[in-house]
């Protein structure tokens, strides 16, 4: 093995070729040693990455936190052998780590890159997402931080069939993100066969240009051509997509441009021949262009947030309280708000009026809204992304991946449940609690009144991970005075007495139904407790256990499908504590249509009548 | 009110104008009478629809089931006042229904159209979906049924920012769907302000053409120009997108092209002025071009399905058994299979080999894969759409809406849980059970062996609604003989004895862990029962109750996040039956990385060791 001197920005093409071959060799070696991985998808992009890391990516591998450094996002995360080979070439990891830990348990060089690695911003591996989140990083850098870093994204060609890629390029184009460059590795072969567009680079270019970005078509193995394209991309005048025609498996004749080699390590004998064909192992080191010595990272001014105050008795929709609180939270310079063209319904628009430069309109593109939030979170901002709860399902995969990336962000879903009324089932969020509870490490909040909404919306700004606030369309009475506190993981007991025979558990709109049911039951001589379970995850297990112990039975009512929501959260908490009260679970069943809130709550079986009837049945059974 | 004669395909432009004005008048009247709705979004498209229904849409409103009739999909479902005004003009509904039931409880003229109406194929209202499903209808018509019907889609301009629209047009272009026409109503104003592209119809056209469709730009209020465009579209030579420049609120001066009028009915006084400005009420009737007298609808030959047989003891991955069964199911001519470019991993590819003409490659576009399935289901086919379970989350909103449409289709998610090993968390389906259980009316199945997989995959072909099969990556021993039956809603008891002290409940990979744990516990003198809960929804409540009664305690282990999965399904079923055994719920917690299956099951706390330990604790506590 030859040890050679450091490669820098003025490295000659011949040496760049050596570097590319080294990246190939190491990608082959790493995946063969691991027994799995994607060497051929790495080989196609090695020339692109050799040029990028040596001549264009302004990055100090010893200081990945430098806020002025460029970002590199591997949207084609399966090409992790190439990325990790780059880490080795940069001196960030050693050969031993690459060869003995890749894809092994308990190690950081995972099958697809995650931010456990200090040089990785985002977990990728669900295609079409890295490029979308990168738009958020670029937008934050240019418009919020006014920094000069660039964002470079390596995309696969297969992933361009994801609509999310076009949502992303549309936004890159619309915002004229001159600091954004995506490189599409057009290697013609997908996982199971040829890609849709194969090597029709002109078709890629037409799409890119139609979506408002600059397209540069190059031979992805012509190092000088690649260098010229990246130089042009770096001129900062336009969001750029380099459409690079490449060969999958390039450099290894036995697999190059052959089907059947996606996601397969080369068998050991073939790997040996491949390494020989690629010129053997090398130990080139790269020190590419360096970023400026970082100006300090975003500093958060001590917040002077004054959330709105609401007086008990006034009728305020929680979505309205959310909007007003969000606007107040804007006093924190790290808070940003994202909308998917429904801000006047969700009331996120209030933020736009108060802080227009930190409000980002995604138009109707929920995936890109969440992706932008993720990208901004990577840069240290606290995003609040809001749309109808039903339409957040569109971004489910992005939310899932954000959790893998350990992103901190706040989501708010409005127009939840059958409560919304006349618009009908397409607009009713009835699955959102199941979706958001199942997100790893999430917090799920569901306030019933404006005061709780203000408190919880504010609390979300300091919660780690992904937090979700569920709001309601209609206006309901404020229940709590402005000084009331709402710890995450808490609950409120709104009615209680020594003789309570049942506990009614509600949240959001059903809490108001529970209160009405309790009043009616009290008139009938059936005293009941009422619990406001505003924190759905984590849950106030103590209060539930106390209620179970003291009243013996619970009715849980939720404006959500029966599966995965509040009822099952309560049952889980009780089972985990080995408590076994009788629980009647009322949830929205059947296919709702249009109607008034009252009609629809009644039809769904979660109205005050239904709650009171269930409580009576339980009280009779346990009396 | 003037009653006038029937309008047919040779209607003069002046009369078409009268019809358009009638549609406007009725859209205004209906929404004002309902107190909600979207009149201005209806006014912009009235001219387009007047021309379409009179001269181009080959439809017999009295025979909506005619299999040769054209399809009309309102992708902009919020323009329901216009659609329902068309129904009235067609004589399908009366003025009284329009004026007294629109958006009211218990009636079919809902806020957004649903298939409760015989003239509606698909529920719309989540934007960017109607156009995607329409591609599936067109594809089925041309390639599966060889019928000549056309599919017409009315899109909003706002919805074109959804990536799903571009997934759809990409497929329309790729398949050269000459029977597909989308009409984009470019009225410049979205819900909360101007749209992203406003009236830049050239930008729309460039995008449409870049994605392989023919673009025709017209003034959407010039009836003759619209007619020419639709005539061209109907020539069948290319998938066509008519980019129609229109004015939101057209015809009513006080709201035309004004912001702040989205989704708002006109107040009564304004509605009166609007009706007057539009020329007052009319009672025109339309009988447009008629479809051929329908040839019989798709007939299903008595199935001669011979599912594959597996012998106990051989090791077969359930994804492999799924692929082989799917290929066998292809003996039914109504079964079609859809892939998102992972068919060699999911084994759906087996179907492609056996039945290439009924296999549809979506490439990496899960939304469009599900949308195509929905469209084909509309035409009576039984689609099986398959991808990694993790990536089905990408299509969550489409699945949700398919349930509103009461679509029957089968979904299969492979590569579930931490079981998959080295690829890491981005590829691990750990949220799919929560997502799919919460789908209205869904069936959720999770076989542990190849025999069960073959039986359940076959059963899905006759299940109404949306059914979901969860398969596993690795190979595990076949547990059941080929004659074993697996009724939906059933379970299997694999170990049991008179002295069972705990019941271990597993499904999929955890069932194998439960069996290993049971063997170990038996050696240690702790006899336990083992339940294979292959039917997660519906659940075998009887077997659970019996186990609870006879063993007193359950351990439920699942390779899924704790929320919304099998554990909570079990707790729900027990609570509903007022049964209260001790339940220890083991599920995948923490953020997994790469590793072997064994390492990852262990780290997640769902291995045989963890199950045995939990069982011992329960047995001790309850002894």
Contact list in B for residue A83 (CB cut-off 8 A) is none
**Tens digits of per-residue pLDDT, B156-170?**
999 999 999 999 999
Distance, in Å, from the CA atom of A97 to the CA atom of A107, rounded to the nearest integer, reads 9
Which active-site residues of B does the annotation give? 366
Contact list in B for residue A207 (CB cut-off 8 A) is 207, 210-211
pLDDT of residue A621: 86
CB-CB under 8 Å, A393 with B111? no
Question: Which DSSP string do the residues of B471-494 spell out, in sequence order?
Answer: --SSEEE--S-TT----TT--EEE
- The distance of B483 to chain A (nearest Cα, Å) reads 33
pLDDT of residue B80: 98
Residue A228 three-state SS: helix
Contact list in A for residue B191 (CB cut-off 8 A) is 341-342, 344-345
pLDDT of residue A6: 87
Distance, in Å, from the CA atom of A324 to the CA atom of A321, rounded to the nearest integer, reads 5
pLDDT of residue A28: 98
Whether A49 has a pLDDT exceeding 90, the answer reads yes
Please provide the average confidence, as pLDDT, over all residues in chain A: 96
pLDDT of residue B297: 65
**Tens digits of per-residue pLDDT, A409-456?**
999 999 999 999 999 999 999 999 999 999 999 999 999 999 999 999
pLDDT of residue B13: 86
**What is the torsion angle, in degrees rounded to the nearest 10, for the CA atoms of residue A565, residue A566, residue A569 and residue A570?**
-150
Interface ipTM? 0.98
Burial of A70: CB neighbours in 10 Å, binned 0-12, 13-18, 19+: buried
Whether A301 has a pLDDT exceeding 90, the answer reads no
Whether B312 has a pLDDT exceeding 90, the answer reads yes
Per-residue pLDDT band at B623 (split at 50, 70, 90): low
CB-CB under 8 Å, A195 with B114? no
CB-CB under 8 Å, B211 with A365? no
Residue B2 three-state SS: strand
CATH, range A315-477: 3.40.50.970
Whether omega for the bond prior to residue B316 falls within 30 degrees of 0, making it cis, is no
- The distance of A398 to chain B (nearest Cα, Å) reads 8
Q: Tell me the β-bridge partners of A336.
A: A383
Distance, in Å, from the CA atom of A221 to the CA atom of A328, rounded to the nearest integer, reads 52
Per-residue pLDDT band at B299 (split at 50, 70, 90): low
pLDDT of residue A297: 66
Are A49 and A104 in contact by the 8 Å Cβ rule? The answer is no
pLDDT of residue B533: 98
Any idea which architecture B492-621 has in CATH? 3-Layer(aba) Sandwich (3.40)
Are B584 and A574 in contact by the 8 Å Cβ rule? The answer is no
The number of beta carbons lying within 10 Å of the beta carbon of residue B295 is: 11
Q: What percent of chain B has pLDDT over 70?
A: 98
Contact list in A for residue B346 (CB cut-off 8 A) is none
CB-CB under 8 Å, A125 with B423? yes
Residues in chain A: 623
Per-residue pLDDT band at B145 (split at 50, 70, 90): very high
Contact list in A for residue B571 (CB cut-off 8 A) is 568, 571-572, 575
Q: Which of A9-18, A240-249, B48-57, B155-164 has the lowest mean pLDDT?
A: A9-18
Q: Among partner residues A105, A116, A603, which is closest to B596 by beta-carbon distance?
A: A105
Nearest Cα residue in chain A from B389: A397
Interface test with B, best of A392, A420, A440 (most B CBs within 10 A): A440
pLDDT of residue A13: 86
CA angle (A268, A269, A270) in 5-degree steps: 90
Contact list in B for residue A430 (CB cut-off 8 A) is 438, 440
Nearest Cα residue in chain B from A349: B192
Are A355 and A155 in contact by the 8 Å Cβ rule? The answer is no
For the segment B65-71, the average pLDDT, to the nearest whole number, is 97
Helices (H) and strands (E) in chain A, counts: 23, 21
CB-CB under 8 Å, B162 with A105? no
For the segment A554-571, the average pLDDT, to the nearest whole number, is 98
Q: Among partner residues A158, A438, A572, which is closest to B364 by beta-carbon distance?
A: A158
Contact list in B for residue A209 (CB cut-off 8 A) is 206, 210
pLDDT of residue A295: 74
For the segment A591-616, the average pLDDT, to the nearest whole number, is 98
CB-CB under 8 Å, A34 with B422? yes
- Fold type of domain B6-286: Rossmann fold (3.40.50)
For the segment B83-106, the average pLDDT, to the nearest whole number, is 98
Per-residue pLDDT band at B3 (split at 50, 70, 90): low
Ranges in chain A annotated CATH 3.40.50.920: 492-621
Distance, in Å, from the CA atom of A267 to the CA atom of B432, rounded to the nearest integer, reads 34
**Tens digits of per-residue pLDDT, A255-276?**
999 999 999 999 999 999 999 9
Distance, in Å, from the CA atom of B577 to the CA atom of B372, rounded to the nearest integer, reads 40
Q: List the A240-245 sheet strands across, edge first.
A: A71-74, A151-156, A180-186, A240-245, A214-219
Per-residue pLDDT band at B301 (split at 50, 70, 90): low
- The distance of B119 to chain A (nearest Cα, Å) reads 17
How many CB pairs lie under 8 A apart between chains A and B? 339
- Out of A159, A162, A167, A366, the active site residue is A366
Nearest Cα residue in chain A from B365: A162
**Tens digits of per-residue pLDDT, B260-292?**
999 999 999 999 999 999 999 999 999 999 999
Task: Quickly tell me which residue has 């009422």 as its tokens.
Answer: A530
Ranges in chain B annotated CATH 3.40.50.970: 6-286, 315-477
Please provide the average confidence, as pLDDT, over all residues in chain B: 96
Are A410 and A467 in contact by the 8 Å Cβ rule? The answer is yes
**Tens digits of per-residue pLDDT, A363-375?**
999 999 999 999 9
Q: What is the 3-state secondary structure (H, E, C) of B267-311?
A: CHHHHHHHHHHCCCCEEEEECCCCCCCCCCCCCCCCCCCCCCCCC
Whether B2 has a pLDDT exceeding 60, the answer reads no
Q: Between B235 and B623, where is the model more confident?
A: B235
Nearest Cα residue in chain B from A396: B393
Whether A158 has a pLDDT exceeding 60, the answer reads yes
Pairing of strands A492-495, A528-532: antiparallel
Q: Among partner residues B107, B575, B600, which is closest to A583 by beta-carbon distance?
A: B575
Per-residue pLDDT band at B303 (split at 50, 70, 90): low
Q: Among partner residues B166, B191, B342, which is closest to A192 by beta-carbon distance?
A: B342
B511-515 long-range contacts, CB within 8 A, separation 24+: B511/B448, B511/B479, B512/B448, B512/B476, B512/B477, B513/B557, B513/B601, B513/B606, B513/B607, B513/B608, B513/B611, B514/B555, B514/B557, B514/B608, B514/B611, B515/B479
pLDDT of residue A256: 97
Are A463 and B149 in contact by the 8 Å Cβ rule? The answer is no
């Amino acid at each position: 093995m030859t040890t050679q001197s450091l490669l820098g920005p003025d490295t000659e093409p011949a040496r760049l070729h050596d570097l590319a071959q080294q990246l190939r060799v190491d990608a082959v070696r790493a995946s063969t040693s691991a027994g799995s991985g994607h060497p051929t998808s790495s080989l196609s992009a090695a020339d692109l990455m050799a040029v990028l890391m040596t001549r264009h990516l302004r990055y100090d591998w010893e200081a990945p936190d430098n806020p002025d450094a460029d970002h590199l996002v591997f949207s084609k995360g399966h090409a992790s052998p190439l990325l990790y080979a780059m880490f080795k070439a940069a001196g960030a990891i050693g050969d031993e780590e690459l060869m003995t830990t890749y894809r092994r348990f308990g190690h950081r060089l995972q099958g697809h890159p995650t931010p456990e690695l200090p040089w990785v911003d985002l977990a990728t591996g669900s295609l079409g997402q890295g490029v979308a989140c990168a738009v958020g990083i670029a937008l934050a850098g240019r418009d919020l931080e006014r920094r000069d870093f660039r964002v470079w994204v390596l995309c696969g060609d297969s992933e361009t069939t994801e609509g999310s890629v076009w949502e992303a390029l549309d936004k890159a184009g619309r915002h004229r993100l001159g600091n954004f460059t995506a490189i599409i590795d057009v290697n013609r072969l997908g996982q199971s066969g040829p890609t849709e567009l194969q090597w029709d680079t002109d078709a890629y270019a037409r799409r890119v240009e139609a979506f408002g970005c600059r397209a540069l078509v190059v031979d992805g193995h012509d190092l000088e051509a690649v260098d010229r394209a990246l130089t042009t991309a770096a001129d900062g005048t336009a969001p750029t997509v380099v459409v690079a025609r490449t060969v999958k498996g390039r450099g290894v004749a036995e697999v190059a441009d052959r089907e059947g080699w996606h996601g397969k390590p080369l068998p050991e004998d073939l790997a040996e021949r491949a390494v020989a064909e690629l010129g053997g192992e090398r130990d080139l080191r790269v020190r590419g262009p360096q970023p400026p010595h970082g100006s300090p990272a975003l500093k958060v001014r001590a917040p002077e947030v004054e959330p709105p105050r609401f007086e008990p008795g006034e009728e305020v929709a929680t979505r309205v309280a959310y909007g007003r609180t969000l606007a107040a939270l804007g006093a924190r310079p790290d808070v940003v708000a994202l909308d998917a063209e429904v801000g006047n319904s969700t009331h996120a628009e209030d933020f736009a009026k108060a802080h227009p430069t930190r409000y980002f309109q995604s138009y109707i593109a929920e995936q890109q809204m969440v992706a932008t939030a993720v990208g901004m979170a990577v840069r240290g901002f606290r995003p609040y992304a809001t749309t109808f709860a039903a339409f957040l399902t569109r971004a489910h995969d992005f939310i899932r991946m954000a959790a893998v990336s350990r992103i901190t962000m706040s989501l708010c879903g409005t127009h939840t449940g059958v409560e919304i009324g006349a618009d009908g089932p397409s607009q009713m969020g009835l699955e959102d609690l199941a979706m958001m509870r199942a997100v790893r490490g999430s917090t799920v909040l569901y306030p019933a009144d404006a005061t709780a909404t203000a408190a919880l919306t504010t609390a979300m700004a300091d919660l780690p991970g992904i937090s979700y606030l569920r709001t309601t369309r209609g206006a309901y009475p404020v229940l709590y005075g402005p000084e009331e506190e709402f710890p995450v993981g808490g609950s409120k007991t709104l009615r209680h007495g020594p003789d309570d025979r049942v506990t009614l558990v509600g949240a959001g709109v059903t809490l108001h139904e529970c209160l009405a049911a309790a009043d009616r039951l009290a008139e009938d001589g059936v005293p009941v407790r009422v619990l406001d379970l505003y924190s759905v995850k984590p849950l106030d297990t103590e209060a539930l256990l106390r209620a179970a112990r003291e009243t013996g039975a619970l009715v849980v009512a939720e404006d959500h499908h029966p599966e995965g929501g509040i009822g099952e959260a309560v049952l889980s908490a009780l089972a985990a504590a080995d408590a076994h009260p009788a629980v009647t679970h009322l949830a929205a069943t059947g296919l709702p249509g249009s109607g008034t809130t009252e009609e629809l709550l009644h039809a769904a079986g979660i109205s005050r009548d239904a709650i009171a009837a269930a409580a009576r049945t339980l009280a009779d059974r346990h009396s």
